[in-house]
Structure 1
Amino acid sequence: MENWEQALAARNDLNVYGDNALGLFALALRYQIDDLHSVAAESITDGSDDKKCDILHIDLEEEIAVIAQCYTCAKQKQSAPANKASDLNTAIGWLLQRQLKDLPVRLKQLAQELRTAIEDGQIRHLQFWYIHNLPESDNVKNELKTVEASAKAALTSMTNASKVQVSAHEVGRGRFEEWYNDTLSPILVSDTIEIEIEGGFEVKGDNWRAYVAPIPARVLSILYRKHKSKLFSANVRDYLGSRKSDANINNGIKKSAETSPGDFWVYNNGITVLVNSFELIKKGKKNKLKINGISIVNGAQTTGAIGSLGKLPNHRVMVPARFVQAPDSELVRNVIQFNNSQNKITASDFRSTDRIQKRLKEQIAQIIDAEYEGGRRGGHSDVISRSKKLLPSYTVGQALAAFHGDPVVAYNQKSNIWVSDKLYARYFPEDVTGAHVVFAYSLLRAVEEEKQELVVKFKAKPNSLTSQEDTLLEYFRHRGSTYLLVSAIAGALETIIGHKIPNRFKTSFDDKTSPVEGARYWSQIVKVTSPFSPQLSEAFSDGLKNSEKVNTAQNTFRSLVQATSVANSSVFQKFKKYVSISKK
């Protein structure tokens, strides 16, 4: 059994997804996703009539869409069946070409969102994956060339299609091993780069060596435009973006690069770069630093700001840089940690070190079977060996946004919750507590579990669902439906517990309640209120984007919860016993 297979076998939490577990695992390896259950709730199609599309993963922030066909073989064979790869042509026809009214209900919402995202210019990379657990083959490769051509042809009639890069990939044993190995190394960009330098010096330690020199900003700009976030694979955060504000450091970096190129070197703190190796090449009066492999562990904001300029920076713009070669993995971890924790952190910088996240991390550590990383995506190892106790930071942000009335933000802006000072302050205020995080997070998990139960029941025996369950499953087929239902239930919390709540951030279970137990408490509330979810469907008329429609739909939902409160009083009273409202 290869390393990636052992890692997949360890993720027994994915077994419930059947063959699609392999597809989810592939997404985790490729895109460093540490919460596959929320991805599964949005991306897996849920029936036999899926038109050869097992997974449709859309990430508007990354500007990607992945359409996948998954196949798992119990026996070892030389290659996967090529006809399964050609099945992706069927998926293309249904998702991109057929009239929406002709699509099965379970695909209609997915296809509509994909087409809208492409036409709105929100998708830059459209990928087709044939995912299996067998060796790759030329037969499959040839079939995927046809898939790629079919997809390009299907896009020609769509607005902004020329901006979409289309590719088809076989994700078999070789690709899995490659992606798995990438997760073990903090350096994902393996290019060999030669940089002209003027001056510089080498420094050596017991088990490391480094070279310090000013480098042209143009080098960073070219690297960033080529590799984007992969350039920061060892960093705690990617480039945070820039706004036209004097208080925003990234905008200041861009401004000084444009207006004071000759002085940039003295204005900037510089960058620290992990490399696999480096050597100095002397050629007459010109020296070159030859680097193999690169990951910027400190200086993501400098690099991103320079790379985001409208044109290459002036040749006079120089950046202080040090290149570190450290073969010891423990030393590498320390380099990454200390390079991102020794300087004062501002509100627009790394959230993972601010006092609110530190406090939440400490508080959640005291709760049974709960871990929290405090404002970060999981580390490289988390995507392959995720702790069952972990509350992923991005999911926590989404759960809090939904719980506090912003399902549009929860679904569409999961990264921006951490980047935007305004959004961050809204969902992580001074009075947020670890217990409240568990309260909101466990509601999201309870809703996702309710959807998964229906999906499993439908797949096992489609005709076994009641009319009410059919209607609820149709609601759940809307992308973003879980966040909207969380928001609607949280909005009806006063009715559920029977009295006014001045500040919803003060609500929680007790400090001993684990996320799993909390989800169990919420499950009965979800079961008695979810039948009203069809009243929320109007909010999806143009995707989950319109806050006014969301508010109107939630008001109707809340009225129905109120109207049935007497009938559900026993359930509500039982739940109320678990709820605590702090007066501090």
Structure 2
Amino acid sequence: MVAEKGPKHDSWTAAFRQFSQSLELGADGIGLFAIDQRFGVEDVRTAAVESITGGGDDKKLDVIFLDVSRGLLVIAQCFDSPKPKQAAPANKASDLNSAVAWLLNSSIDSVPEEIRGRVAEVRDALEADMIRDFHLWYVHNAPESKNASVEVLNAERTAAKLLSKRGGVQVFGAEVGTETLERWYLGSKRAIKATSKFSVRVADAIEISSDRWSSVTTLVPGHWLRQLFLDHKEDLFSANVRDYLGSRRSGDNINNGIKETATTEPSDFAVYNNGVTALVLDYHLGPRARAGRKLDVVGISVVNGAQTTGSLGSLPEDPDPDLLVPIRFVKSSDEQLLAKIVRFNNMQNKVQAADFRSGDEIQNRLRSEFQGMAGVSYDGGRRGGSSDAIKRSRTSIAAHTVGQVLTAFHGDPVAAYDKKADIWVDDGLYSRIFSERTSAAHILFAYSLYDALTTRLLTLRGKARVGGPGLTEPEEKELRFLSLKGAPYLLVEVVARSLETIIGQTVPNRFALRFSGTPTLADSAAKWQIVIDAVLPLSEQLRGAFNRGRVVRDGKDAAIVAFDGLFRALQSLRPEAFQEFAKAVKVVEPELQKS
């Protein structure tokens, strides 16, 4: 439960309760809630599994959220009091110093196994120059205080010192209490957060309008756009589907190319660049004069051109005065139209890997098949919409996660964990799992296994944190194994390989597997419990598939073979163990897939 703090700072609490309860998150869910409000998380359930450390010997690293596609790392220490408090304990904020030391400066072999995989991932990402923004947060449900803020800033200085040789990483420390959570929550419901008045002098402009919108198109100085970014940071992209992704020093990174062009060819930038589209609350275009025209803008959010804006904004100094950026300012009060403007202005961009496939005939067919199913929905890579981002459904499954689960189910849990985006970009990887043989019923069959495994992990984490008798020794072993990075995906493949033994019949192609009837996601996940109960006690046989706490190719197949041999031997002693489960499974011939 979340402490009520009065009318000024309590709007977020109901949203957090819904967020936490619907996704079955524990006490550290407040950290993930804050990350979702600040940056947006596509699949919160998977993020919870991969980012919330689960307590125990977590070295004060309650949440380790890593998104290399955005160059983003968030480390959160969390405190969620069931009773109202005047301030959160400052000593928990000081724990961030210890967390930073364990994350960045300890021997990897000394890091507890439960978090070693995630720590190794962070270090690998830093080594590869894939992290640009490093956030250190103390997230809690009490008013913010000077004492806690001082401790957070101390942790920020510690992190900055340890990362001093990596000049491309910016460290941001913050106490995230009721005031900040309220501001972020309310801000997530508003399309335009940068609501000030902005003025710029332009050479000329073209203004056009209809009965639903008006717009002005012109060229603005690059230094003006850079200053907007410096003043407002991510708020400048509040209506966009993504923020600035950062720039890595590599030839194939588009943002690095934008910065290089701005530096070496500023006078030609306007003809090289696609330009910027921004939503505004209002604008006024002044009359023509010898000095140009004055353009006043009230409120702004960049909905296309975030990478251009961020690249210019991250230059060490103002670009050449000759550098001009094409830009279109759009004003409308029609919410449906604004949602379409955001969506259509991003269709040509590499917003996320799944966007490349969201409109193909396979994803269209799968979305249609899921529409006829109860208790489950599938986005098929199509994201967005004008609804409140907090309204998440426990029965909604994200396309990216489906891609990972299918990849694991059909034999490659390492790619499932390490190549989330590649699954949708690489034609070979994509066509292996999404074809005419792929049905919504099969996706539900495979995904519900993953759902049941992650539910078991979240339940064990919750039980480990609360008072009382705590976990039994077998449960502690289960939690340690499931907390290894990629373990749920490895178990998905392990179970898939064992299904012929489990159901007692030949499976010529795993895509033929589905549950009988029309079960919901919850019904389907419940069917897997007897299988999971049998598999998890044998999980120690799979330790050879992990290195530095994460699943790897070397040793994976040998570990699975060893597991399979033991599982078959045990199953032969109890041939009736899975009779009820076997009755619920159906193997559908190819010509019957559409029935």
Paired position in structure 1 for 2:484: 478
| Post-superposition CA distance 1:419-466 (Å, at most 9, x none) | 444443333223322212212211111111222333334334797645
Query: TM-score if structure 2 supplies the norm length?
Result: 0.81
Local SS of the residue matching 1:146: helix
Local SS of the residue matching 1:186: coil
* 81-90 or 315-324, larger mean C-alpha shift: 315-324
**Pick aligned residue for 2:64 from 49, 56, 64:** 56
Give the alignment of 1:411-422 within 5 angstroms: 411-422=417-428
Measured on the aligned residues, the alpha-carbon RMSD in Å equals: 4.3
What amino acid is aligned across from residue 181 of structure 1 in structure 2?
Answer: L
What amino acid is aligned across from residue 505 of structure 1 in structure 2?
Answer: F
Distance 1:172 1:128 in 2: 13
Contact 1:34 1:378 in 2 (8 A): no
Distance 1:307 1:419 in 2: 29
Local SS of the residue matching 1:455: helix
Paired position in structure 2 for 1:29: 37
Q: CA 1:296–1:197 in structure 2 vs 1: closer, same or farther (change >3 Å)?
A: same
Distance 2:363 2:88 in 1: 46
Paired position in structure 2 for 1:68: 76
Unaligned stretches of 5+ residues in structure 2: 1-6
Give the alignment of 1:531-570 within 5 angstroms: 531-542=537-548, 544=550, 546-570=552-576
Distance 1:106 1:502 in 2: 37
Q: CA 1:51–1:277 in structure 2 vs 1: closer, same or farther (change >3 Å)?
A: same
Distance 2:293 2:126 in 1: 46
**Pick aligned residue for 1:201 from 187, 194, 206:** 206
Paired position in structure 1 for 2:460: 454
Contact 2:26 2:462 in 1 (8 A): no
Paired position in structure 2 for 1:580: 586
Contact 2:339 2:385 in 1 (8 A): no
Distance 1:536 1:285 in 2: 72
Q: CA 1:485–1:185 in structure 2 vs 1: closer, same or farther (change >3 Å)?
A: same
Paired position in structure 2 for 1:167: 172
Contact 1:298 1:340 in 2 (8 A): yes
Local SS of the residue matching 1:385: coil
Local SS of the residue matching 2:333: coil
Shift of the alpha carbon at 1:571?
A: 3.5
Give the alignment of 1:69-84 within 5 angstroms: 69-84=77-92
Shift of the alpha carbon at 1:414?
A: 2.8
Q: CA 1:489–1:216 in structure 2 vs 1: closer, same or farther (change >3 Å)?
A: farther
What amino acid is aligned across from residue 43 of structure 1 in structure 2?
Answer: S
Q: CA 1:526–1:222 in structure 2 vs 1: closer, same or farther (change >3 Å)?
A: farther
Contact 1:188 1:231 in 2 (8 A): yes
* 130-139 or 106-115, larger mean C-alpha shift: 106-115
Give the alignment of 1:112-151 within 5 angstroms: 112-151=120-159
**Pick aligned residue for 1:273 from 274, 278, 281:** 278
Identity of aligned residues (%): 40
**Pick aligned residue for 2:381 from 372, 375, 379:** 375
Local SS of the residue matching 2:459: helix
Query: TM-score if structure 1 supplies the norm length?
Result: 0.82
Give the alignment of 1:48-447 within 5 angstroms: 48-155=56-163, 161-187=166-192, 197-213=202-218, 233-235=238-240, 272-281=277-286, 284-297=290-303, 321-337=327-343, 350-377=356-383, 379=385, 381=387, 383-447=389-453
Q: CA 1:147–1:481 in structure 2 vs 1: closer, same or farther (change >3 Å)?
A: same
What amino acid is aligned across from residue 554 of structure 1 in structure 2?
Answer: I
What amino acid is aligned across from residue 172 of structure 2 in structure 1?
Answer: S
* 19-28 or 419-428, larger mean C-alpha shift: 419-428
Distance 2:403 2:230 in 1: 29
Distance 1:127 1:54 in 2: 14
What amino acid is aligned across from residue 427 of structure 1 in structure 2?
Answer: I
Local SS of the residue matching 1:212: strand
Distance 1:240 1:90 in 2: 29
Shift of the alpha carbon at 1:526?
A: 1.5
What amino acid is aligned across from residue 164 of structure 1 in structure 2?
Answer: V
Contact 1:47 1:106 in 2 (8 A): no
Distance 2:367 2:275 in 1: 30
Unaligned stretches of 5+ residues in structure 1: 243-247
Q: Indicate whether 1:518 and 2:527 are aligned.
A: no
